[in-house]
Amino acid sequence: MYLKCPVCKKEWNASLKVARHIFGNGDKAHRAWVNSQGVSFTDLLIRQATGSGNQGFMVLAKIVESSQDGTSGVAG
């Protein structure tokens, strides 16, 4: 199953990878999308930096998963 980045539509096989991509890109559009989901881009980044495991990025991964239904659907 492939998941899309809701901003630039690039695809990955796991939601955590989409989340990593969103943080790694970090441009205005990607930041704005994260912040529009009721979470804070910077807060999640810092949770990732200071927490254990993938705490911060997992939060976004969950959001990415649920965002797939409402957008262009799941590809692949």
Query: Distance (Å, rounded) from C-alpha 28 to C-alpha 14?
Result: 23
Which amino acid type is present at position 72? S
Shortest Cβ 68–another protein spacing (Å): 20
Handedness of CA 66, 71, 38, 64 (dihedral sign): positive
Shortest Cβ 70–another protein spacing (Å): 27
Does 51 participate in binding another protein (rule CB under 8 A)? no
Shortest Cβ 32–another protein spacing (Å): 14
DSSP code at position 53: T
Kindly list the residues in this chain that would bind another protein in the complex (CB under 8 A). 16, 20, 23-24, 26, 40, 42-43, 45-46, 48-50
